[in-house]
Amino acid sequence: MSSRNELKSRPYSVPDGYFDSFRAEMSRVPLPAHTAQWRKAAPYMAIAASLALLVTAGTLALNRFSAEEDISQEDYILFSDNLISTSIYEDHMQEQIAEVGLMDEEIIEYLIFTGVSPEIIELSK
Amino acid sequence: MTDKEIMELYRSGSREKAFALLVDAYTERLYWHIRRFACSHDDANDLLQDIFIKVWTSLPTFREESQLFTWLYRIATNQVLNHLRRQRFRSLVSFESASLMLEKKIDEDPHFNGDELQRELHKAIQRLPEKQRIVFCFRYFDEMKYEDISEITDTSVGALKASYHHAYNKIKDELQKKF
């Protein structure tokens, strides 16, 4: 592989006159005003706030549910064994996400903005 | 015009003019850098436009502690990484393999004019983990110095050498199996 120099050559072409037309196109693109860094993060902060709110609401709902039941730790463990893991919590989250109307693309942009790697999601599946 | 002169023009207040000169100087170089990852001309074109918009919005934060060239490549590489991550996330939603989608793009690309060995090489690159892919392309095709790659990717030279070694061997093995 190291001795095959033809492998290092570009196996791609571009349409005729592409670079000139790209430069011309770029000169017509309306350039956004220079804004403060925090303004760029605002939409992602809004999504983060929505998710944080959902988590808080879900946790409070679960705490209230378990506080109403005066059960011993032993009963609690037995009861937990009969539950599908985090099903109440997940259902609640799914409903809330549907209500807030977060789209896949918005969630993807948020994950990218926060630096979550796709490998982590793949591993958790 | 040199990078230094472009930045002097920018600082003097002729921002749009300086930016136009920067686009003139770097369009081709950045296009060929991102083309290997985008796998299609249309995706590379969209990415390049996004990169220049990002460059424009980030110019006020450029402190000139690094060279303009490495700063631009860092922005381009980050945009490429985000593009690849976006595709991986989308593939998770649609249950399609991201690397298979990219390989398909190479097969369907009307602007790909390499031979079979080059086609398989570029497909094998798409199967590498993100960072190995970036290091491999910088080092193998552009023959860039590890020190420059380190500045662009914010990764230590030692880690880059290890990544390149793994990537090179994986690709070599894959090509040897097929040819």
The 10s digit of each residue's pLDDT in A66-115 is 555 566 666 666 655 555 555 555 566 666 656 655 567 777 777 777 77
Question: Do B97 and B80 touch, CB atoms closer than 8 A?
Answer: no
Shortest CA distance from A110: residue in chain B: B86
Q: What per-residue confidence (pLDDT) applies to B58? A: 93
Q: Is the pLDDT of residue A36 over 70?
A: no
Q: How far apart are CA B66 and CA B77, in angstroms?
A: 16
Average pLDDT over residues B119-130: 92
More confident residue, A71 or B117: B117
| DSSP string for B111-124 | TB---HHHHHHHHH
B93 touches chain A (CB under 8 A): yes
Helices and strands (DSSP H and E) totals, chain B = 9, 0
Partner-chain contact A11 B28, CB within 8 Å: no
Distance CA B111, CA B118 (A): 13
Q: Considering only CB atoms, which chain A residues are within 8 Å of B114?
A: 9, 11-12
How much is the average pLDDT of B88-109? 81
- pLDDT band for position B133 (50/70/90)? very high
The dihedral through the CA atoms of B39, B35, A15, B114 has a sign that is negative
Which pLDDT score, from 0 to 100, does residue A53 have? 78
**pLDDT class for A52, splitting at 50, 70, 90?**
confident
pLDDT at B112 over 80: yes
Phi, psi (degrees; rounded to nearest 5) at B112: -85, 120
* Total residues found in chain A within this entry: 125
* C-alpha of B28 from chain center: 12
Contact A44, A113 (CB under 8 A): yes
User: Which residues of B fall within a CB distance of 8 Å from A9?
Assistant: 114, 118
Q: How far is B141 from chain A (nearest CA, A)?
A: 5
Q: Residue B19: is it exposed, middle or buried by C-beta count within 10 angstroms (0-12/13-18/19+)?
A: buried
Higher pLDDT, A109 or B14: B14
pLDDT beyond 70 at B147: yes
The rounded mean pLDDT for chain A is 72
Side chain identity, residue A69: E
Residue B38 to residue A41: CA distance in whole angstroms: 26
Q: Which domains does chain B have, with CATH numbers?
A: 1-102 (1.10.1740.10), 114-179 (1.10.10.10)
pLDDT value for B157: 97
Residue B84 above 60 pLDDT? yes
Asked if A35 and B57 come within 8 Å (Cβ–Cβ), the reply is yes
Please report the ipTM that was assigned to this predicted complex: 0.85
Per-residue pLDDT at B144: 93
Distance from CA of A104 to the nearest CA of B (A): 8
Range in A10-14, B25-29, B63-67 the model is least confident about: B63-67
B140-162 mean pLDDT: 94
B80 neighbors B134 (Cβ within 8 angstroms): yes
Task: Please give the average per-residue pLDDT across A8-33, as a whole number.
Answer: 92
Averaged confidence pLDDT in chain B: 91
pTM metric for this prediction: 0.72
> Does the pLDDT value for residue A61 go beyond 90?
no
- Tokens of residue A120, six digits: 């982590």
pLDDT score for A39: 63
The per-residue pLDDT for B119 is: 93
A109, A44 in Cβ contact below 8 A?
yes
Q: Is B118 at the interface with chain A, CB within 8 A?
A: yes
pLDDT score for A103? 60
Rounded Cα gap, residues B51 and A43, in angstroms: 20
